[in-house]
Amino acid sequence: MPIALFDTATPLAALQERFVERMTAVVERGVFILGPELAAFEAELAEYVGVRHAIGVGNGTDAITIALRALGIKPGDEVVVPSFTFYATAEAVVTAGARPVFCDVDPATRNVTLDTVRTAMTDRTAAIVTVDLFGCPAPSPEIRSLGVPVLEDAAQAVGASLDGRRTGSLGDVATFSFYPSKNLGALGDGGAICTDDDAVAERARLLRFHGSRDKRDFELVGYNSRLDELQAAVLRVALPELDGWCEGRRAAARAYAEAGLDHYVTPPVVPGAAQPAWHLYVVTHPQADAVIAGLRQHGVQARAYYRTPLHRQPALAEFVPAHPLPATQELAATNLALPMSPTLSAEKAGEVVAALAAVL
Ligand SMILES: *Cc1c(COP(=O)(O)O)cnc(C)c1O
């Protein structure tokens, strides 16, 4: 039996009956957009993250666009963003009307740092996007000291924490994705914006509903992007399971270490204050593609992420940075993700390491 890169089905199977129950209740109520399930999920998510406001939106990409607009980002502004991340992070900056300015990352943590961000800043920098890549929190609190609003893209890191503070509370504003394969997945698209800033929260609520409070007066040109009632009902069932799922992912990471993973590949470095949520378990090796092919022959799924970093993507050609991004280039060429799931057992992790030993 092959070991899958990720397994979202097993953890959800136990919840299926309750999903159907809660979804049936929504159908019977007959309210599908901006109703009581969303209000309750927003309160529960805000409480879990430790922020004053959570605002449910249509997906994690819209969450970034709307959060940037809520911060007051306007056409011509520059937004510093890593190049080694999912495309949506930078795409949302362009959709918000701003120019992405790509910065490098730390080769060990794969996250932006105070120094890589500072190198990319100019007097037009209006915001910084930090990404909690692969589920490990970026040093957003430190980066806030640069005096520019920080948006924490926590799409991959719900359930992680830094210095005892949860991801989603580490920037001036933060965004989540509830895409089905993310750590807290809906049964469809979904996203959220979290903030302690009352004014940013109010603008985000306006923007997700055409810039209107009452569908009569329109104060802003906004978006039509809400987390719907069915998805909110599903997420209310899943949220209480999240900590257990994250603990399962951390146990799998420990099992990799105990099986001697670092004899064969370079594992991620976790800052001492960080507790990662391991959305993906990404290692590096100079011959990453050959290792991926070899693992496949041993029944282990592995794959590369972001082989073409964002500053080399055709759609973003006008934003090619003036300075090189050596750590981004190196990580893009050498990374491979190994199987990672809440239910990946120590035995399976041992089999993955044994397969690596056979390949290498
Ligand atoms: C998944 C993801 C997004 C986008 O979320 P969607 O819900 O798919 O729109 C944004 N940023 C990062 C880092 C992601 O991994």
Residue 4 lies in a domain: no
Write the pLDDT tens digit of every residue in 255-278: 999 999 999 999 999 999 999 999
The pLDDT of residue 70: 98
Write the pLDDT tens digit of every residue in 298-355: 999 999 999 999 999 999 999 999 889 999 999 999 999 999 999 999 999 999 999 9
Q: Which of 239, 257, 292 is the last residue of a domain?
A: 239
- Please tell me whether residues 289 and 220 are part of one structural domain: no
Range of the domain at 337: 241-359
Residue 28 lies in a domain: yes
The pLDDT of residue 265: 98
Write the pLDDT tens digit of every residue in 174-211: 999 999 999 999 999 999 999 999 999 999 999 999 99
- Please tell me whether residues 38 and 48 are part of one structural domain: yes
pLDDT band at residue 152 under the 50/70/90 scheme: very high
Contacts of 240 (CB under 8 A, 6+ apart): none
Q: Whose CA is nearest to atom 7 of ligand 1?
A: 60
Write the pLDDT tens digit of every residue in 37-62: 999 999 999 999 999 999 999 999 99
- Please tell me whether residues 35 and 155 are part of one structural domain: yes
What average pLDDT does the structure give for the chain? Answer: 97
Residue 1 lies in a domain: no
- Please tell me whether residues 235 and 246 are part of one structural domain: no
Ligand 1 atom at minimal distance to the Cα of residue 156: 15
Residue 152 lies in a domain: yes
CA of 86 to the centre of ligand 1 (A): 7
Contacts of 296 (CB under 8 A, 6+ apart): 302
Write the pLDDT tens digit of every residue in 76-99: 999 999 999 999 999 999 999 999
pLDDT exceeds cutoff 80 at 69: yes
Average pLDDT over residues 235-256: 98
Average pLDDT over residues 250-258: 98
pLDDT band at residue 1 under the 50/70/90 scheme: confident
The pLDDT of residue 194: 99
Which uninterrupted H or E stretch holds 61?
helix 60-70
Q: Which of 223, 239, 255 is the last residue of a domain?
A: 239
- Please tell me whether residues 34 and 119 are part of one structural domain: yes
CA of 312 to the centre of ligand 1 (A): 19
Ligand 1 atom at minimal distance to the Cα of residue 131: 13
- Please tell me whether residues 247 and 342 are part of one structural domain: yes
Around ligand 1, the residues with Cβ closer than 6 Å are 59-61, 85-86, 88-89, 131, 153, 155-156, 177, 179, 189, 191
The pLDDT of residue 290: 98
Domain with residue 255: its CATH number is: 3.90.1150.10
Residue 2 lies in a domain: no
Ligand 1 atom at minimal distance to the Cα of residue 92: 10
CA of 246 to the centre of ligand 1 (A): 18
A 10 A CB-CB count for 308 gives 11
- Domain total in the chain: 2
- Please tell me whether residues 232 and 264 are part of one structural domain: no
Average pLDDT over residues 114-128: 97
Residue 3 lies in a domain: no
Pairing of strands 173-177, 165-166: unpaired
Ligand 1 atom at minimal distance to the Cα of residue 88: 10
- Please tell me whether residues 327 and 199 are part of one structural domain: no
- Please tell me whether residues 168 and 42 are part of one structural domain: yes
- Please tell me whether residues 248 and 232 are part of one structural domain: no
CA of 268 to the centre of ligand 1 (A): 21
Write the pLDDT tens digit of every residue in 154-180: 999 999 999 999 999 999 999 999 999
Q: Which of 239, 262, 296 is the last residue of a domain?
A: 239
pTM: 0.98
Residue 100 lies in a domain: yes
Contacts of 253 (CB under 8 A, 6+ apart): 276, 278, 281, 340
Pairing of strands 150-153, 173-177: parallel
- The span from the CA of 201 to the CA of 311, in Å, is 31
